[in-house]
Amino acid sequence: MKYLVCISKVPDTTAKISFKNEDKEFNSDGVTFIMNPTDEWYALVRALELKEASGGQVTVINVGPKDNEKFLRSAIAIGADDAVLIEANEETESYYIAKNIAKYAQENGYNFVITGKETISFNSFSLGGMIAEFMDLPFINQATQWMLNGEVSTIYKEIEGGEEVLEVTGNCVISAQKGMAEQRLANMKGIMMAKTKPLAIIPIALGEEKVQVSQYQVTPPRGNCKMFTLDQIDELVQALQSEAKVI
Amino acid sequence: MKTKTLKGGAFIIEDQDLNSFYAPEMLSEEVQQFSEMISDFVEKKVKPNFDKIDKGAHDLVVSLLKEAGELGILSASLPEEYQGLNVDFHTESIISEQVGKAHSFSVALAAHTGIGTLPILYFGNSEQKSKYLPGLGSGALLASYCLTEPGSGSDALGAKTKAVLSEDGKHYILNGQKMWITNAGFADVFIVFAQVDGDKFTGFIVEKGSEGLTLGAEEEKMGIKGSSTRMVFLENVKVPVENLLGEIGKGHKIAFNVLNIGRYKLCVMAMGGAKETFNHAVRYANERIQFKIPIAKFGAIREKIADMAISIYATESATYRTSGLIENQIQELTSNGMDKTSAKLEAAEEYSIECALLKVIGSETLDLVVDESVQIYGGMGFSEESPVARAYRDSRINRIFEGTNEINRLLGVGTLAKRAMKGELDLQSPIKAAMGDLMNMDFSEVSGDLGAEKKSIANAKKAFLIIAGGAIQKFGLEFERQQEIIMKLSDIMIDIFAAESILMRVEKKIQTSGLEGAAHDINILKVFLYEAMDRIYMKGKQAIHSSQEGDQMTMMLMGLKRFTKYESINVVETKRAIAKIYIEKQAY
């Protein structure tokens, strides 16, 4: 089986978020970027586990500037066999990215395309669905487990108040979330070997950006919040009277 | 005079060629990946367990050490033939820096990979290496180092533990007590030093479970509470003769040589810990509101942030400079046909002066940072709920183990004097020249980028040389006993070493980012020098007052004053500018 795992680059979870260019552009000054956690921890690691169990090839892919090579190398260090970077501008929207990944997956005969549930930067949740549409494949969103028996995938999803178990025969696109796998750290040998594995850089092939960001807005910080438990009724009344001064 | 490679200790009399200088900004992408991976390991696996570990969960320490083994952290510096990764010295540095954030766990890991494993790597024969190194590298075997005894700490060679050859010649029988043994509770391998025939100090490999090998209770310690520290008792322990390490009577070589690298790594680890604690303090200063504004906006707090950052920057500059010197030396020795392991040992010995000074620099920087961080946290810093309380308790031991800072200060100056006496370093001529400069007024203009800084550092070296030269002349063979003066000389040496390392790092930065891009680094250099020159003057004055008299004293004091002059800067404004960068970044 051939697995294509989409790896996105996102700001570190502790990064200070600000915007520039009249709030049209994310200000990346001084921001550390990391591999998108759901791509790394769930999508990539599950693909590696399935490959380790029954053979195949795991390729990691990113659409973005040449600097993103570094994140693909990190994914290789964790265990991917090879990587592809489709060279594009920094902030590209999902439609454009999906179209290019779908084209690459189709032309190179991948059985499964796996993404993380969402990127923690723009949270669009949209890439997997678009790729599936362009490839004319079924799409299973936010999967928590994925077993593979021959051609048949058994996939678990969380639904309101319970779980849904799906069976898919043949190729499909999956977005992965918590539960799918455990984070795997690259070991030092993996990092040393990563240099020697293939990483292809190919030019962008398709499409134009259809969605433009007109403005970003920062939500104002939440005000102070104080929590009381059920047995603290007296303290609550006290606080409402003397601190909040509302009763 | 510019030389391509700077010999150990020679920084005090020569300039280093900038091309051979190594700065942390030069770490390769691969080394940065190692760094991120180890940081991830510490952050995700060790940090959530800090409390449990400090409450004595040694089994957790053992399982985390084995996990570190799987990641390659324990075998990084071992040769490939023993399933090691054979990494370069910069990688070893970065491993130590990241591991240094892990409190008690870092002590367990460092004792295992350093003083526990290195004696076998450097001094074991090939059977011993094949038997132990792969296991030590994977974490299947864990090691401890038993040197100190109740009656011999700094005076390590005064150990009383005895080793007597059995009648059949097959075993040594060991009897004695060892104290403060890190990892004792779970170690499989004990490196034990004992006197053969009463006075031949010798190393042995003793295995866990040997009959007569017993342990004392866990020590109740001020800090690093999660590191297993116990006494090791040896009562007629039979150690097979094939477990004798190195040569009989050459145990001091093992004991002291592994300490050179140990001291270097202690410094790097302390620096890693200092960065982590600094980050906590800066974030807290930004969050804590008093008088309706974050306390990071107050000058008193800003100055603390600047002081901590400058101290970390100085440590980092001196550390990676030394990493570069050692790596260059390793490469030169290996290109001449020496194997990498021997080359590493020899290179660390060559730079033993720098390693001793760094041990002091790193541990004292950490102490400054944890102290000021607790202060920034205020009452919360005194609570175990804050991360800085643990940092404060854990820091203190660093000034004591791997040779106390006093021993390391003595070693810095003492080794320099020894090398001069052996003719390995020519101190005589530069001392003469500096003494000559006491009479010659220097009216030369400073010019070029950092001209004033370069001149001040060159002058500070002259100050060191006149004070050292004067004291040696006065006390002759008694110089060695003037510990108070040696302490002062070594403080001066430390300031020069750090200042010059910062200067060269800034020069490199200017080369890559221009004057504007290096503005922040230049500010750090200026403040460091401004304060260091005052410190040098004060220590120098005390040393001269205590060793000279009459005209000679007057002349040297005047010279000292001239040699420790540096330009006036607005130190408050400059420190504010420095602090601002870190407050905005919320991290070092």
pLDDT (tens digit, 0 to 9) for every residue of chain B, 588 residues total? 444 679 999 999 999 999 999 999 999 989 999 999 999 999 999 999 999 999 999 999 999 999 999 999 999 999 999 999 999 999 999 999 999 999 999 999 999 999 999 999 999 999 999 999 999 999 999 999 999 999 998 888 899 999 999 999 999 999 999 999 999 999 999 999 999 999 999 999 999 999 999 999 999 999 999 999 999 999 999 999 999 999 999 999 999 888 999 999 999 999 999 999 999 999 999 999 999 999 999 999 999 999 999 999 999 999 999 999 999 999 999 999 999 999 999 999 999 999 999 999 999 999 999 999 999 999 999 999 999 999 999 999 999 999 999 999 999 999 999 999 999 999 999 999 999 998 887 777 788 899 999 999 999 999 999 999 999 999 998 999 999 999 999 999 999 999 999 999 999 999 999 999 999 999 999 999 999 999 999 999 999 999 999 999 999 999 999 999 999 999 999 999 999 999 999 999
Q: What is the pLDDT of residues A69-88, one digit of tens each?
A: 999 999 999 999 999 999 99
> Which residues in chain B are closer than 8 Å to A33, comparing Cβ atoms?
none
How far apart are alpha carbons B354 and B94 in whole angstroms? 18
> Which residues in chain A are closer than 8 Å to B76, comparing Cβ atoms?
188
Rounded to the nearest angstrom, the minimum Cα separation between A100 and chain B is 28
Q: What is the pLDDT of residues A175-232, one digit of tens each?
A: 999 999 999 999 999 999 998 999 999 998 877 777 888 888 887 777 677 788 888 8
> Which residues in chain B are closer than 8 Å to A192, comparing Cβ atoms?
30, 85
A161 class by beta-carbon count within 10 Å (0-12 exposed, 13-18 middle, 19+ buried):
exposed
B402 included as an active-site residue: yes
Among residues B173, B187, B180, the alpha carbon closest in space to that of B216 is found at B180
Q: Are B259 and B122 a contacting pair, CB within 8 Å?
A: no
Residue A151 has what pLDDT? 93
Subunit contact B70:A187, Cβ cutoff 8 A = yes
Q: Are B369 and B312 a contacting pair, CB within 8 Å?
A: yes
For B515-563, the DSSP string reads HHHTHHHHHHHHHHHHHHHHHHHHHHHHHHHHH--HHHHHHHHHHHHHH
Rounded to the nearest angstrom, the minimum Cα separation between B555 and chain A is 52
Q: Any CB–CB contact under 8 A between A187 and chain B?
A: yes
Best of B37, B43, B138, B582 to mutate (most A CBs within 10 Å, chain A): B37
Subunit contact A185:B30, Cβ cutoff 8 A = no
Subunit contact B37:A185, Cβ cutoff 8 A = yes
Residue B2 has what pLDDT? 42
Tell me which of B276, B316, B364, B402 is the catalytic residue: B402
Domain boundaries, chain A: 2-222
Q: Any CB–CB contact under 8 A between A66 and chain B?
A: no
A187 class by beta-carbon count within 10 Å (0-12 exposed, 13-18 middle, 19+ buried):
buried
Task: Please count the residues of chain B.
Answer: 588
Q: Write down the ipTM of this complex.
A: 0.81
Rounded to the nearest angstrom, the minimum Cα separation between A183 and chain B is 10
Q: How confident is the model at residue A123 (pLDDT cuts 50, 70, 90)?
A: confident
Output the 3-class SS for B291-344.
CCEEHHHCHHHHHHHHHHHHHHHHHHHHHHHHHHHHHHHHHHHHHCCCCHHHHH
Rounded to the nearest angstrom, the minimum Cα separation between A189 and chain B is 7
How far apart are alpha carbons B200 and B253 in whole angstroms? 12
Domain A2-222 adopts which CATH fold? Answer: Rossmann fold (3.40.50)
Three-state DSSP at B101 gives: coil
Q: What is the pLDDT of residues B313-366, one digit of tens each?
A: 999 999 999 999 999 999 999 999 999 999 999 999 999 999 999 999 999 999
Residue B1 has what pLDDT? 40
Three-state DSSP at B60 gives: helix
Q: Which residue of B has its CA nearest to A35?
A: B36
Subunit contact B37:A187, Cβ cutoff 8 A = yes
Residue A91 has what pLDDT? 65
Bridge partners, A156 (sequence order): A145, A165
Subunit contact A185:B585, Cβ cutoff 8 A = no
Its pTM stands at 0.89
Interface of B with A (CB under 8 A): 29-30, 33-34, 36-37, 40-41, 44, 70-73, 76, 85, 87, 584-586
Q: Any CB–CB contact under 8 A between A192 and chain B?
A: yes
How far apart are alpha carbons B352 and B403 in whole angstroms? 13
